[in-house]
């Protein structure tokens, strides 16, 4: 099938881009970034935007910088830019480079963008999980100016966000991690490159052999990636051992409201949530280089 007819706009500045979206956004006009989700949807006519605003020529949206305790990721920063450890981001850079290989396939990672993943809001997006677990702050830009939104207020459900049609997600900011923060990521899918059926990201500081400041999130399980406060509380102050991990897995299973689809039952996903959290905790505990 071919995409429905559309008009492609290629603004060279952010000012032009937000003006175009102010004009066409309410009538179904969309931003196109990497095009790795939108173009297949258009080819299948699941999406048929009459206008596309291509943001790839806007130089300032391609920046990846560290400052003020944050990693700032511009709207056209590709997944593949995290293949190599972004050293300026320290431990966070290592975390991102350990997660990125789980996203789709190599050619898709060369075009797809970090911010595009957040805007697309697939429940199984690895970057949505990273952003939700670490507490990302997002910048949304329109002709009215900028507004900053916390990731939890941005992700609204499966493929749904609180972004207004006239807004461009111009920047995602992730807080840097302490040098001694331990982290682990674990994902389960049936074939390499598929969207995850379930995944978990954990990060914690180890102080005097005890877990402090635990951040535990799951993705692909519920309609949106979510940090699990009950599981974090169950781990706080505990020694990272199999007993604590089993308790965290049980707390996860009790906490999640798992999705169901034609191939995977809610019960399966609920059980999987405990497994992925336990395995991510084991990876965080045993990894020798953080
Ligand atoms: C075969 C295949 C496998 C995949 N597997 C995975 C996977 O395992 N994990 C995963 O996370 N993803 C996966 N993807 C999706 C891929 O990661 C996409 O790159 C990503 O979902 C969207 O990024 P994009 O830049 O390509 O966005 P686009 O396709 O350009 O846009 C997607 C949506 O977001 C909107 N949008 C994009 N950028 C912005 C912005 N800055 N401001 C406002 N709106 C914006 C668009 O209007 C559109 O609605 C897969 C894709 C394919 C084709």
CATH number of the domain to which 199 belongs: 3.30.390.50
Q: How far is the CA of 158 from the centre of ligand 1 (A)?
A: 13
- E-strand spans in the chain? 7-9, 30-32, 51-54, 64-67, 70-74, 137-142, 145-150, 155-157, 160-161, 168-175, 181-188, 198-207, 210-219, 226-227
* Claim to verify: residue 260 and residue 166 sit in the same structural domain: no
Give the residue whose CA is nearest to atom 13 of ligand 1: 104
- The residue written with tokens 């605003």 in the block is 53
pLDDT value, residue 288 = 56
Q: What is the mean pLDDT of the chain?
A: 96
For residue 96, is it within any domain?
yes
Query: Can you tell me which atom of ligand 1 is nearest the CA of 40?
Result: 53
Answer whether residue 10 shows pLDDT above 50. Answer: yes
Q: How many domains does the chain have?
A: 3
Question: Does residue 116 share a domain with residue 70?
Answer: yes
Q: Same structural domain for residues 154 and 191?
A: no
pLDDT surpassing 50 at residue 108: yes
Adjacent-strand bridge partners of 78: 113
Q: What is the mean pLDDT of residues 66-84?
A: 97
* Residues 97 and 126: beta-carbon distance below 8 Å: no
Token pair of 24 as six digits: 């066409």
How far is Cα 32 from Cα 122, in angstroms, rounded to an integer?
16
pLDDT class of 287 with cuts at 50, 70, 90: confident
Residue 148 pLDDT greater than 90, yes or no: yes
- pLDDT band at 1, cuts 50/70/90? confident
- What's the pLDDT band for 49 if we cut at 50, 70, 90? very high
Q: Whose CA is nearest to atom 3 of ligand 1?
A: 104
pLDDT-derived band at 290, boundaries 50, 70, 90:
very low
Average pLDDT value for residue range 144-162: 98
Q: Are residues 206 and 265 in the same domain?
A: yes
Specify the ligand 1 atom closest to the Cα of 127. 11
Query: Encoding tokens for residue 6?
Result: 């559309």
Q: Which two tokens stand for residue 286?
A: 């045993």
| Boundary of a domain, candidates 175, 207, 237 | 175
What is the C-alpha separation between 136 and 90, in angstroms, rounded? 17
Give the per-residue pLDDT at 191. 87
Distance 236 CA to ligand 1 centre (A): 35
Cα(288) to centroid of ligand 1, in Å? 33
Provide the domain limits for residue 192.
185-286
Asked if residue 80 has pLDDT above 60, the reply is: yes
Q: Are residues 107 and 33 in the same domain?
A: no
- Name the least confident of 211-225, 233-247, 274-288: 274-288
Same domain, 245 and 280: yes
Q: Which ligand 1 atom sits nearest the alpha carbon of residue 119?
A: 34
Task: Please compute the mean of the pLDDT values over residues 242-249 and round it to a whole number.
Answer: 98
What CATH number does residue 157 fall under? 3.30.465.10
Which residues are 147's β-sheet partners?
140
Ligand 1 neighbours, Cβ below 6 Å, are: 30-38, 40, 75, 103-104, 108, 112-113, 115-117, 119-120, 122, 125-126, 168-169, 195
How many Cβ atoms are within 10 Å of 286's Cβ, its own excluded? 10
**C-alpha distance across the termini of the chain, in Å:** 47
Tell me the pLDDT tens digit for each residue of 191-201.
888 899 999 99
Q: Whose CA is nearest to atom 19 of ligand 1?
A: 112
CA of 119 to the centre of ligand 1 (A): 8
pTM reported for the whole predicted model: 0.97
Phi, psi of 277 (to 5 degrees): -65, -45
């Amino acid at each position: 099938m071919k995409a429905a007819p559309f008009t492609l706009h290629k603004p060279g500045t952010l000012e032009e881009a937000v003006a175009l979206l102010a004009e066409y956004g309410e009538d179904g006009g969309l931003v196109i970034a990497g095009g790795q989700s939108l173009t297949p949807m258009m080819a299948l006519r699941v999406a048929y935007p009459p206008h596309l605003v291509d943001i790839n020529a806007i130089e300032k949206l391609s920046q990846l910088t560290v400052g003020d305790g944050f990693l700032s990721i511009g709207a056209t920063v590709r997944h593949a830019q995290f293949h190599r450890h972004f050293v300026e981001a320290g431990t966070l850079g290592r975390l991102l480079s350990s997660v990125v290989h789980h996203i789709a396939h190599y050619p898709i990672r060369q075009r797809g963008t970090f911010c595009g993943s957040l805007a697309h809001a697939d429940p199984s997006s690895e970057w949505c999980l990273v952003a939700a677990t670490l507490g990302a702050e997002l910048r949304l830009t329109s002709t009215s100016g900028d507004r900053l939104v916390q990731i939890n207020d941005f992700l609204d459900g499966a493929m749904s966000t609180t972004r207004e049609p006239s807004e461009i997600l111009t920047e995602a900011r992730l807080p840097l991690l302490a040098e001694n923060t331990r982290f682990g990521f674990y994902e389960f899918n049936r074939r390499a490159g598929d969207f995850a059926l379930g995944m978990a990201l954990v990060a914690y500081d180890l102080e005097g052999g005890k877990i402090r400041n635990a951040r535990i999130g799951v993705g692909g399980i519920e309609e949106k990636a979510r940090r699990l406060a009950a599981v974090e509380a169950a781990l706080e102050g505990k020694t990272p051992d199999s007993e604590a991990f089993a308790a965290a897995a049980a707390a996860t299973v009790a906490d999640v409201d798992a999705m169901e689809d034609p191939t995977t039952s809610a019960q399966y996903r609920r059980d999987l949530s405990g497994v992925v959290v336990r395995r991510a905790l084991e990876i965080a505990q045993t990894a020798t280089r953080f």
